[in-house]
Structure 1
Amino acid sequence: MDYRQFGRSGLKVPVLSLGTGTFGGSNEFFQRWGQTDVAEASRMVDLCLDAGVNFFDTADIYSQGASEEILGQALKGKRDRALISTKATFPMGEGPNDIGPNDLGSSRYHLVRACEASLKRLGTDHIDVYFMHGFDALTPVDETLRALDDLVRAGKIGYIGASNFSGWQLMKALSTSERYGLARYVAYQGYYSLVGRHYEWELMPLGLDQGVALMVWSPLGWGRLTGKIRRGANTSGRIASGGAEGGPPVADEALFRVVDVLDELAAETGRSVAQVALNWLLSRPTVANIVVGARNEEQLKQNLGAVGWTLDPAQIARLDAASHETPIYPYWHQKGFDERNPKPTSW
């Protein structure tokens, strides 16, 4: 297993982590990805640890805490071998009608309680990486960062990260950390795939400039790049439309153009379509880790096969060309001044 530096920090992480959104599935309040129970979760954790994948990602909102609880039970007796990341910000409660005005967001009030609750569910005394799941524009940035800094100083959190922030929101937070000497976001957890490359337009150059690593979620584009969808095949249903929550729209021709090349490269390399798509991500700037999900052990084994080999430069270039799309303004305008853009993010 390859390990990479986690942004501007001393932490090294495996290039793959196990996303545990499938653990639990006890309700529909956030999203029901799967119904992995403790027994199967334990087997999957063991498979990961044996393969050198010692990083496990969850969030308080996943099945309203059930994911954290199951992960904690699956890691009993193995906690010292594992890295855990979890998240807070989104509403937490038994249901939409049970959420109070302070049961969400990134205020000190909410974060301190959310962190304590996650620690209890996970059955641990520390969280290795704590992500803000979204940007809370109603809470002063320095309040959020001071609360997180206090949790770091108390030993309850190792490192902090941001997820789903805009570029300016992340940069504002980094600037605030620098101004007041507070813990800084070392990683960004964001969507990035061969059918969703918007991350490259602003967040990737920001990550290169500021030393913020990327932890990729939904690397297979809501299931579109698993090999189940091909030109001429039936594209109706949940996967084609982007998963249970819909996902970002992708035009059929844009998807097929990418899958055509993935099919070609899968034949050339002897790998699966999904493994090729994941391996392409590992060649991209700022990518430190890819969160892979699995509904069962067989899917997990398939995803683990994405490492230990590399696409050659010509193969990467073919995927780059097939998945290219013209960026929005002002990024298409900046293309004309490419010699002054941070490398290696060539347009």
Structure 2
Amino acid sequence: MQHTVSSGNMIYNTLGKSGILVSKLSLGAWVSFDDQINLDTAYALMTRAYQLGCNLFDNAESYANGKAETMMGQAFHKGLKEGVWTREDLVLTTKLFGGTRGDRNTCNSKGCSRKHIVEGMQASLKRMELEYVDVVFCHRPDPLTPIEETVRAMNHVIDRGYAYYWGTSEWSAQEITEACRVADVNGLIRPLCEQPQYNIFHRHRVEIEYEPLYRDFGLGTTIWSPLAWGILSGKYSGKHIPEGSRLSLEKYKWLKDTAFSEREWQIEKTDQLKPLAQELGCTVAQLAIAWCVANPNVSTVITGATKVEQLEENFKAMDIVPKLTPEVMERIDKVVQTKPDYGSEMKMARRIRGLES
């Protein structure tokens, strides 16, 4: 069970079944660091986020092929030098799996094997100029590596002082359960948290599949893509692509093609949410972020930004959370029609197990 404290306008939760506190809103480096912004902007974003109560900053070895870690590390050390924060003030995280060389990765320079986890962790720390990160995630499940090997490798990383905690990202409930059981049987440390995609359009895993994990293992969650790849920002209405936005980048052409074809319905639903957002006195992006924050099983929501003004607007979502009454949440569900049918799924599961006719 999460424990919660407040400071100013920010809420802090214990991350999973641990004593470490993380802010309900955090800042991530995906797409923006190096691909869209330079070091000065990264430092300005991290500094302003910290001033607004954010203490968790998320990264991955594969973001900009390692350059995002380098940039975040440089920004962190600049803040350290200027007295903005101390190392103890921040929760710095990264993720291992994809390597740093894109298509040029060799077969052993990615994945969740002991070899890559140890070598990848050392390389990440070198890029960030850190002695340790607070949490290291397995960025994806690795079908080639036994889960026991991954669990033991993550425990080795923790034993060596390279990280304090470990977690998973986009793992199934079955895979996380197996990792926890392996850890329990062998007296090892369980994964503390999972980093799944979660937003108004993408709900099943967090709301249904992981439900037993919150209860049985105290699993924490660090949510990515609360704005559904930017669609819930509302800026792509009418298939308009603002200059400098994520979908305008050639590197993410596949994302634009997806958004304007199979995800076109999400753009339409976002437009339908705008009147409700206006009633609440917020943008549709703030509404979407607040909606994620309101889930009690969400430890932190990872936001992204390319401008300080954008970050400040996103963080105003904390003002909207108290306005999300059951009635408002029901109105959101009626608009988007994406709420998983928990009752029907449980009934089907019982039938499969032969517990009901």
Q: TM over 0.5: same fold?
A: yes
Which residue identity does 1:172 align to in structure 2? E
Aligned to 1:203: 210
Query: For 1:79-228, what aligned pairs fall within 5 Å after superposition?
Result: 79-93=87-101, 95-97=102-104, 99-199=105-205, 200-228=207-235
Q: Could you list the runs of 5+ residues in structure 1 that have no partner in the other structure?
A: 26-33, 339-347
Which residue identity does 1:294 align to in structure 2? A
Alignment partner of 1:297 out of 296, 308, 320: 308
Alignment partner of 2:26 out of 17, 37, 48: 17
More helix per residue: 2
Which residue identity does 2:119 align to in structure 1? R
TM normalised by structure 2 equals 0.82
CA–CA distance in 2 between the matches of 1:189 and 1:53?
17
Which residue identity does 1:82 align to in structure 2? L
CA–CA distance in 2 between the matches of 1:337 and 1:144?
30
Which residue identity does 1:293 align to in structure 2? G
Q: What is the deviation of 1:213?
A: 1.3
Aligned to 1:270: 281
CA–CA distance in 1 between the matches of 2:229 and 2:266?
15
Q: What is the deviation of 1:322?
A: 2.6
Q: Are 2:326 and 1:313 equivalent residues in the alignment?
A: yes
Asked if the contact 1:195–1:258 (Cα under 8 Å) also holds between the matched residues in 2, the reply is no
Asked if the contact 1:22–1:294 (Cα under 8 Å) also holds between the matched residues in 2, the reply is no
Asked if the contact 1:83–1:128 (Cα under 8 Å) also holds between the matched residues in 2, the reply is yes
Asked if the contact 2:99–2:120 (Cα under 8 Å) also holds between the matched residues in 1, the reply is no
Alignment partner of 2:16 out of 7, 30, 38: 7
Aligned to 2:72: 71
Which residue identity does 1:323 align to in structure 2? V
Asked if the contact 1:194–1:258 (Cα under 8 Å) also holds between the matched residues in 2, the reply is no
Aligned residue for 2:291, secondary structure, equals: helix
The Cα offsets for residues 220-253 of structure 1, whole Å up to 9 and x where unpaired, read as: 01111112244xx34689859xx64436875544
CA–CA distance in 1 between the matches of 2:263 and 2:30?
27
Q: Are 2:340 and 1:334 equivalent residues in the alignment?
A: no
Q: What is the deviation of 1:256?
A: 2.7
The answer to which of 295-304 and 106-115 deviates more is: 295-304
Alignment partner of 2:268 out of 215, 231, 256: 256
Q: What is the deviation of 1:287?
A: 0.6
CA–CA distance in 1 between the matches of 2:96 and 2:295?
27
Asked if the contact 1:188–1:213 (Cα under 8 Å) also holds between the matched residues in 2, the reply is yes
CA–CA distance in 2 between the matches of 1:251 and 1:10?
39
Aligned residue for 1:2, secondary structure, equals: strand
Asked if the contact 1:213–1:287 (Cα under 8 Å) also holds between the matched residues in 2, the reply is yes
Q: What is the deviation of 1:172?
A: 1.0
CA–CA distance in 2 between the matches of 1:254 and 1:308?
25
Aligned residue for 1:128, secondary structure, equals: strand
Q: Are 2:54 and 1:48 equivalent residues in the alignment?
A: no
CA–CA distance in 1 between the matches of 2:131 and 2:336?
43
Which residue identity does 1:195 align to in structure 2? F
Asked if the contact 2:61–2:99 (Cα under 8 Å) also holds between the matched residues in 1, the reply is no
The answer to which of 319-328 and 141-150 deviates more is: 319-328
CA–CA distance in 2 between the matches of 1:225 and 1:326?
16
CA–CA distance in 1 between the matches of 2:62 and 2:53?
27
CA–CA distance in 1 between the matches of 2:326 and 2:339?
22
CA–CA distance in 2 between the matches of 1:323 and 1:11?
35
Q: What is the deviation of 1:137?
A: 1.8
CA–CA distance in 2 between the matches of 1:161 and 1:331?
29
Alignment RMSD: 2.6
Aligned length: 322
Which residue identity does 1:4 align to in structure 2? N
Asked if the contact 1:326–1:332 (Cα under 8 Å) also holds between the matched residues in 2, the reply is no
CA–CA distance in 1 between the matches of 2:196 and 2:271?
22
Aligned residue for 1:190, secondary structure, equals: coil
Aligned to 1:345: none
The answer to which of 165-174 and 58-67 deviates more is: 165-174
Q: Residues 193 and 67 of structure 1: is their aligned pair in 2 closer, same or farther, counting only changes over 3 Å?
A: same
Aligned residue for 2:319, secondary structure, equals: coil
Aligned residue for 1:63, secondary structure, equals: helix
Asked if the contact 2:33–2:42 (Cα under 8 Å) also holds between the matched residues in 1, the reply is no
Which residue identity does 2:130 align to in structure 1? T
Asked if the contact 1:22–1:295 (Cα under 8 Å) also holds between the matched residues in 2, the reply is no
Asked if the contact 1:42–1:74 (Cα under 8 Å) also holds between the matched residues in 2, the reply is yes
